Structures are given as C-alpha cells and as structure tokens.
Structure 1
Amino acid sequence: MRHSYTPTVAELEAFCATARAGTTIQAARSLGLTQSAVSRSITGLEARLGVALFVRARQRMTLSDAGRTFLREAEALLDRLNDAAMSVMAFGGQAQVLRMAVLPTFARLWLIPRLRAFQATMPGLSIDMAARLSPVDFEAEPFDLAIQRTHHRASGAHHLHLLDEELAIVAAPSLIGRAPLSRDEVLRLPLLQQSTRPTLWPDWCRAMGLDPRGALRGARFDHFDMVLDAAIGGLGVALVPEILARPALARGDLTLAAPGDVRTGQAYTLIYPERSAELPHFARFRDWLRAEIEGIWA
C-alpha cells in the first residue's frame, strides 16, 4: 500500500535532476519536461516529506542537509527501478528467461561456445548470464542456477556434481622447447599466478614434495582466461583446470609442460534453488549440461 508521504517516480526524477543541475530550468531540459512541471514535482515532494530539500538562493538551488541525505537514497531507488525494468526487458518478447551465474573463465571458454546448440533446442528461451566468483544468495538474487565449484555451495540449494576439477601444467611450445619437463625444470620457469586462488602453485609443490617458497613468483592475473592468455603469449607456465585449457591445447597454442593431472578436491557443480526445479527450461538446461559434460569423456 502506498502511503501519502511516499514519493512518486516523477518527483524523485525531478529532485535528482535538479540536484545535479542546480536549477529547475536545466533539470527540465534534461528530463524533457517544462520548468513548471519540475517545480511542481519538487514542491510536492517537499510537502510530502515535510522538509526543505533545497536552499534557494537567487537563481540557484543547492541541497540542504536533508536533501543531501535524501539524494543518495533517491538515486539508489531510481537505479533499482531501472535495473528491475531492464531485467523484465531482458525477456525481449520471449516467453522464458534462464538466469545463470557462472565462473568467468568456465563461461567464456567452455559454456558460451556451446550455448548455440542448447538454444537451438529451445528457440523461445533467452539467456541472462552473469560472471560470478562469489557464492550466490538465491533468496536475494534472481538467478535460476549457478555453475561454480564445490566451495561455493549455497545454503538451502540443490547441488549437482558435474565433474571433478583437475589441474594441468601448460605452457607455450615456444617457451619450453621440449616436453615434458621435470618438476625442477618447471620451477625454474616463471610461474603464472591466479590472484583469486593464490595457493595453487604452493599446493602443487607440497604435493610433489618440493620446496614451495619460490612458488609465488611470476605475473599475477585475476582470472584463469588471463592466465591462459599469458601462457599462450609465452609469459610463463600455467597451472589451470584442464577443462579450461583444452581448446588451447587442441589448437596447439599450449602444450602440457609436465605429465599428470592434479586433483584439487573441488568439483564443478550445478547449484540451484528449489524454485528452479519446477521450471521446464531449467530442467532442459540441466539435462543438456550433464550430457555435454559426459561427452567430454566419451
């Protein structure tokens, strides 16, 4: 229920525009309204709230203390309203939208190149994808699913194992000259670092019985796709999930620098809330995804 003191959207827009412009004339021009319409909105808003939002001096309008406080909230409200409208517009005339949060490099290198085949099976479906490195709060966010690792598990959500994470050591053929390298030879090369998972190289050293103290040297990058690009460019040796390196390995841009995969104890996981289980397009995507994952090992 709307209360008598609750501002209208027009009043919020007039207030924010005037706060930015400093005059109702400039605000009216930016909004495509008349100056009198903007003035009426501001006067009405101040009457609703029972407080002066502006200090009027000559031809200028500057925010009062109350106005400065209200501006932050008003702009945030308009931003959220705009986001809500954009979210609905994402349907784009389609009957259904599948909203997903996906690990950035997994999305770019593995999932997105395959999505055309999935959409061909559901031409009325629109995809809304966001890159996400942190766990998803399905109660607060409108995602239908997330594809992340095991440690991103969400409370109250379902978790479907997709595949275990296995790391591979890769490098540009021009860097290593020959392969495979010994463990000591690997450590003598620059080790490319992934900043959100900084323990990968030290953990590998410990697993191999090597001294991990020198394992953090080398260029550092935010995402695995950056690490892979750096490896392709010959900047060093990369320790990355094997599934992400497959395209570059198949093209010959990278080669396995050392034998053997390293298991991290993590797994790629499909995470989804109970409400998604009732969506036919989610069920279709889940089944398609599992078939694609199984096809990796076929």
Structure 2
Amino acid sequence: MLRNRIPPMAALIAFEAAARHESFTLAARELFLTESAISRQINALESNLNIRLFVRVKQRVVLTRAGRLYSEQIRASLRAIERDTLSISAHGSGDGSLELAVLPTFALEWLIPRLPGFYEKHPQIRVNMGVRSNPFSFNEEHFEAAIHHGKPVWPWATSELLFGEEMVVIARKDLIGNSIRKASDLLKFPLLFSTTRQESWRQWFDAAKLPQDTVPERSVGFEQHSMMIRAAESGLGIALVPEFFVPKTAWDNGVVRAHPLSIPAEDSYYLVYPNNMRHSGPLEAFRAWILDEAQRFAQTLPPRSQGIS
C-alpha cells in the first residue's frame, strides 16, 4: 500500500532541517536533538529510499543532487501540512482566516468599505478575497465561501439571501445635455451593457414599453460593472447599472440619472458556502456579520429591490 512507502515523519523533519542548514549539528540544535540522532534519522531515510541524500566533503555534509531536489519537495510538503493544520485548527475556534470568492465591483463598492466594522468585532480573523464571477466547485478551489449574484442554485452548498438591487440609467450630463425627453431618446447614444447580464437592457426596454424589436444602433460591452461605470463617467455612453455600485465620486464628477425609470434586477446577491463548512469559526463569524449588514442595507432599498426569498 502507498503508506508503506511514506518515510516516518520524524525522519523527514530531521532531513529537512539538515538539508536547509547542510549541517547535522545545526539541525540537531534546531530540533533539540543530538547530532547522532539526526544522523540515525538520515541513515534510516536513505535506507528507506535506497539513495544517498548527503555526501561528506572535508568534514561537512553536502546535499547530493537527488538530496537537494528531495529537500525542496519535502520542505514544500511540510509547509503545506503546517498551513492545513493551522486552517483546520481555526475551524473550531474564532481565530484564523476565511477564503472568500467575491464579485469585483460588489467587493469594491459594498463589501470592502464595511469590512472595518467586521474587524472591529473580530480582530483575530482575516478575510482573504479572490475574484470569481461564475459559480465554481468548492471541492476544486481553495475558497470556503463566495458572494454570488444569480439564482440561489449551487451544488452541495447553502445559499443565504443578502439583498437585491435597483438598476438605474446613468451618463455624463455634458454627454446627454437635455436631449433625453423619452425612453427612445436613449437610442441616440451608445448603450453600455454588461456581458454577464446581457438581458438587462431588454428588461429596461420592456419596462419602458418600447417595441419588442428595439435594438440600439451602437452598444459596447464590459465584463465588470466598475468598468461600465467608469466608461459612463468618461462620456463613452449610457450605462444601466446597480445604483449602489455608483460611487459618490462618479456623481460628483458629472454623472447623472439619464432617465428616471429604474427596474429591479431579476436576481439577488447571496452568501454561499459548502454544507460541511458551518462548523468553521471564521465562516460563522463572517456569516452572522454580513447577514446583519445586508439586512440593514436592504432596508434602504426600494421595497421591490430588497431581495427575493
């Protein structure tokens, strides 16, 4: 069996220290062992592997080529074991970190500005973030939770509603002037759209009672809402975006509501986590905090945008 080929952990630890120092004496001092004990562990490991890991050169030990390669591999493996041990230890406590997958604009405009409040309550926890815009398998990623926008369908995971959003039409005032008096006037300008929500403008057209065959002559797609907002702020066209994503700096820089009609998004934001993670101390602390923050934020939204259960 495979485990019969795995050397004893004590031998691997002794080897890693000896290889790092290229000295049995320094390795023994670091591990609070005798030099002869280190030597015995190395000899046992070489016998187990049937390969020389060290050679003696002028009364000092030097790694062989195979020994140097093996030492790098063992060092990486021991570090991984240490990280995994610290991570699993944190699951049963309030300490540690949470690996969170986020939507970039949501993180920039909503989550990050509120995180100081989380750290005030839980200074011993750190939330590490990485961007994921689409659903993924928790079994294949290092993430322990995710912020998701869409239908609350995620295999082998729990999805908890945060809130919905109101979509508004924005543009630079000096781009549109006073030329927009009715919904169809928007078609005079390039319409900026989200490549991840390509039906948003069609939904707005329907709400504005424009003909079903309405097609803008010019349109430009962006993957992230932050890019769309920046494009609208730069005068590239008219954007349909979640209102709470538009930063104060954009309003201060000449961005205005290009049309009074707004629509609720069909989908909502959710906190998603694997079903087997509820025992994690960092996750439970973050979950309680973000659900409370989301509830208070939802109360500031129009009733139709507070989310769907």
TM-score by length of 2: 0.65
1:113 aligns with 2:139: no
DSSP-derived class of the 1:192 partner: strand
Cα 1:224/1:38, change in 2 over 3 Å = farther
1:39 aligns with 2:65: yes
Distance 1:5 1:118 in 2: 43
Question: C-alpha root-mean-square deviation of aligned residues, in Å?
Answer: 4.0
1:215 aligns with 2:216: yes
Equivalent pair of 2:174/2:254 in contact (CA under 8 Å): no
Query: 1:84 offset after TM fit, Å?
Result: 8.2
1:204 aligns with 2:242: no
- Amino acid in structure 1 at the alignment position of 2:193: Q
DSSP-derived class of the 2:162 partner: strand
DSSP-derived class of the 2:164 partner: strand
1:176 aligns with 2:202: no
1:189 aligns with 2:179: no
- Amino acid in structure 1 at the alignment position of 2:134: S
DSSP-derived class of the 1:257 partner: strand
Query: 1:2 offset after TM fit, Å?
Result: 4.6
Query: For residue 257 of structure 2, what is the aligned residue in structure 1?
Result: 256
- Amino acid in structure 2 at the alignment position of 1:259: P
Cα 1:187/1:143, change in 2 over 3 Å = same
Cα 1:205/1:212, change in 2 over 3 Å = farther
Distance 2:69 2:196 in 1: 51
The correspondence of residues 70-89 of structure 1 with structure 2, limited to 5 A, is: none
**Bigger relative CO (Cα 8 Å, ≥ 6 apart):** 2
Distance 1:145 1:82 in 2: 24
Query: 1:137 offset after TM fit, Å?
Result: 1.6
Query: 1:246 offset after TM fit, Å?
Result: 5.3
- Amino acid in structure 1 at the alignment position of 2:173: P
The correspondence of residues 101-180 of structure 1 with structure 2, limited to 5 A, is: 101-151=101-151, 153-178=153-178
Cα 1:233/1:141, change in 2 over 3 Å = same
Equivalent pair of 1:98/1:125 in contact (CA under 8 Å): yes
Report which of the two structures shows the higher radius of gyration computed on alpha carbons.
Answer: 2
DSSP-derived class of the 1:197 partner: coil
Query: 1:222 offset after TM fit, Å?
Result: 1.9
Equivalent pair of 1:162/1:269 in contact (CA under 8 Å): yes
Query: For residue 272 of structure 2, what is the aligned residue in structure 1?
Result: 271
Query: For residue 245 of structure 1, what is the aligned residue in structure 2?
Result: 246
Query: 1:213 offset after TM fit, Å?
Result: 5.0
Distance 1:39 1:192 in 2: 58
Cα 1:280/1:3, change in 2 over 3 Å = closer
Distance 1:201 1:232 in 2: 19
Cα 1:178/1:243, change in 2 over 3 Å = same
Distance 1:157 1:126 in 2: 22
Unaligned runs of 5+ in 2: 16-61, 301-309
Cα 1:90/1:279, change in 2 over 3 Å = closer
Query: 1:257 offset after TM fit, Å?
Result: 1.1
Cα 1:180/1:3, change in 2 over 3 Å = farther
Cα 1:252/1:98, change in 2 over 3 Å = same
Cα 1:268/1:248, change in 2 over 3 Å = farther
Query: 1:191 offset after TM fit, Å?
Result: 0.6
Over the matched positions of the two proteins, sequence identity in percent amounts to 28
Unaligned runs of 5+ in 1: 11-35, 45-74
> How big is each residue's C-alpha offset from its partner over 1:132-177, in whole Å with a ceiling of 9 and x where there is no partner?
1111322333323211113363112111111123211111222222
Query: 1:82 offset after TM fit, Å?
Result: 8.3
DSSP-derived class of the 1:228 partner: helix
Aligned length: 246
Query: For residue 230 of structure 2, what is the aligned residue in structure 1?
Result: 229
- Amino acid in structure 2 at the alignment position of 1:293: A
Distance 1:264 1:122 in 2: 33
DSSP-derived class of the 2:259 partner: coil
Distance 1:184 1:240 in 2: 18
Cα 1:162/1:40, change in 2 over 3 Å = closer
DSSP-derived class of the 2:139 partner: coil
